[in-house]
Amino acid sequence: MPTVKQFQVTFDCEHPERVARFWCEVLGYVVPSPPKGFDTWEEYERSRPPEDQGSWFVCADPSGVGPRLYFQRVPESKVVKNRVHLDVRVGTGLVGEERLAVLEAECKRLVALGATHVRTLVADDENESCIGMRDIEGNEFDLD
């Protein structure tokens, strides 16, 4: 049986390009080149039937290490908690006040991009601090 070497994470959303560009800023990802035969994404979108324009968008880790993120338009709005979420690992290796300061600084940066701060969980005897957040369409993620 072959071993899976790559995977992508798919987000259901209302505005795929907007959400993709938000996550580019969060993760340092980039928008890949447009499909073959097109000089720009705008040119590609204009070539598609009106009902399909803006129906999906992608972003990718420029190093090729992290998973590609795929954003697809769906007709319904988000109504319940995500069953899966991303942990954005900005505090790896840090503890205590140093970790919390790094998490809070990143939270402030992401709020300026349109994210929402949900709650800060301060370190206890078992866990280090983390911050719960929502992206620009309400999808949960954690700063960890």
pLDDT at residue 1 is higher than 80 = no
Residue 82, pLDDT score: 84
Consecutive H or E run containing 143 = strand 140-143
**Cα–Cα distance, 51 to 106 (Å, whole number):** 37
Q: Whole-angstrom Cα distance, residue 109 to residue 88?
A: 13
Start-to-end C-alpha separation, the chain:
34
pTM for the model: 0.89
Quote the DSSP letter at residue 60. B
Average pLDDT over residues 39-60: 95
pLDDT over threshold 90, residue 31: yes
Cα Rg of the chain (Å, integer): 17
How many C-alpha atoms does 69 have within 13 Å on its Cβ side? 27
The per-residue pLDDT of the chain, averaged, comes to 93
